[in-house]
Amino acid sequence: MKPTMKTTMEQTHDRDIQQDVEKALGWAPEVDSAKIGVSVRGGVVTLSGQVGSYWQKVMAGKTALRTRGVTAIANEILVHHITDPRTDSDIALAAHNVLKWNSQIPKDSVKVDVEDHVVTLSGEVDWNHQRETARRLVEHLVGVQDVRNRITLKPRPQASTSETEALIRRALIRNASIDAGRIHAAADGSRVVLTGIASSYAEKRQAELAAWSSPHVDEVDNQIIVELR
């Protein structure tokens, strides 16, 4: 295929993805799509614009990643609380309370620090899903401009490389949204590297969650490539 023809096809493909992402954002009730710009190059989506809450920014990114053909995203949306009077102290208190009242977060396991409306989470929990839950809870709070999740996992029980890989392989096979034959998990102690091909970002994310389900894992390096069939 001639380079010019290939470039034209890629540009057409990117325009199709751009239109699909714009439509998806328009259908997302959490997002003010009129304030968000979308550009695409080589399947990589860049979101720009300005929204009134950090949660809108997060949901815009998730919506774009769920769109077919998207391989990666650069979320450059700015969060600007135009009329919100909440202070760092208000946000810190709200974050403390929402974490305290959630049954998935062990009591007093997560600490909150807020500076210039940026929330930093620290502490130690047992499972990655607890770390992710803490982040999601704080993302919803009014006044937050960014969340830095520095929560760590407690030391994991020791297991052989083959045992860890076998557990993850079974988890991949059980998940109906994953083509387990195209994804490989390699363990090195408590660290797992995922490689292979996924047909969507959603499948890539599901593979990562499957790896985190192993009780012997405290780090997942997701190197899976998103490639349309």
Q: What pLDDT, on the 0 to 100 scale, is given for residue 144? A: 93
Q: Beta strands 44-51 and 72-75: pairing type?
A: parallel
Residue 224's pLDDT band (cuts 50, 70, 90): very high
In percent, how much of the chain has pLDDT > 70?
Answer: 95
Looking at the fold, whether 104 and 148 belong to one and the same domain comes out as: yes
* Residue bearing the bigger pLDDT, 53 or 158: 53
pLDDT of residue 52: 87
- Residue in this structure with the two tokens 């929560």, named with its chain if needed: 151
Judge if 74 and 128 occupy the same domain: no
Confidence of residue 86 (pLDDT cuts 50, 70, 90): confident
Between residues 7 and 127, the one the model is more confident about: 127
16 plus 72 within the same structural domain: yes
In tens, the pLDDT along 99-157 reads: 999 999 999 999 999 999 999 999 999 999 999 999 999 999 989 999 999 999 998 88
3-state DSSP call for residue 93? helix
Same domain, 75 and 10: yes
Residue type, 163: E
Q: What is the pLDDT of residue 229?
A: 65
Q: Verify that 149 and 165 share a domain, yes or no.
A: no
Point out the domain boundary residue: 104, 127, 153.
153
Are 120 and 178 in the same domain?
no
Whether 9 and 74 share a structural domain: yes
Confidence check: pLDDT of 4 > 80:
no
| pLDDT for 12 | 80
Rg (CA), the chain: 20
pLDDT at res. 83: 67
Two tokens at 74? 């650069």
Could you give the number of structural domains in the chain?
A: 3
On average, the pLDDT of the chain sits at 90
128 shares a domain with 71: no
CA–CA distance, 202 with 82 (Å, rounded to integer)? 33
| Percentage of the chain exceeding pLDDT 90 | 72
Point out the domain boundary residue: 34, 58, 79. 79
| DSSP secondary structure code for residue 143 in this structure | T
When pLDDT is averaged across residues 39-46 and rounded to a whole number, the result is: 92
Within this chain, do residues 149 and 178 fall inside the same structural domain, yes or no? no
pTM surpassing 0.85? no
- 72 neighbors 45 (Cβ within 8 angstroms): yes
Residue 2 pLDDT > 60: no
Sign of the alpha-carbon dihedral angle for 63, 68, 74, 78: negative
The domain boundary residue, chosen from 79, 103, 133: 79
Q: Is 156 within 8 Å of 215 (Cβ atoms)?
A: yes
Q: Determine how β-strand 78-79 pairs with β-strand 110-115.
A: unpaired
In whole angstroms, give the CA distance from residue 15 to residue 12: 5
Domain membership of residue 170 as a residue range? 161-226
Residue 201 pLDDT > 60 = yes
Positive or negative torsion for Cα 65, 68, 74, 75: negative
Question: What CATH number did the domain enclosing 108 receive?
Answer: 3.30.1340.30
Residues 213 and 177 in one domain: yes
pLDDT in tens, 186-200: 999 899 999 999 988
- Stronger pLDDT, 30 or 192, i.e. the higher one: 192
- Are 170 and 149 found together in one domain? no
* Domain match, 48 and 67 both: yes
Which pLDDT score, from 0 to 100, does residue 82 have? 64
DSSP-derived secondary structure for 43-67: TEEEEEEEES-HHHHHHHHHHHHTS
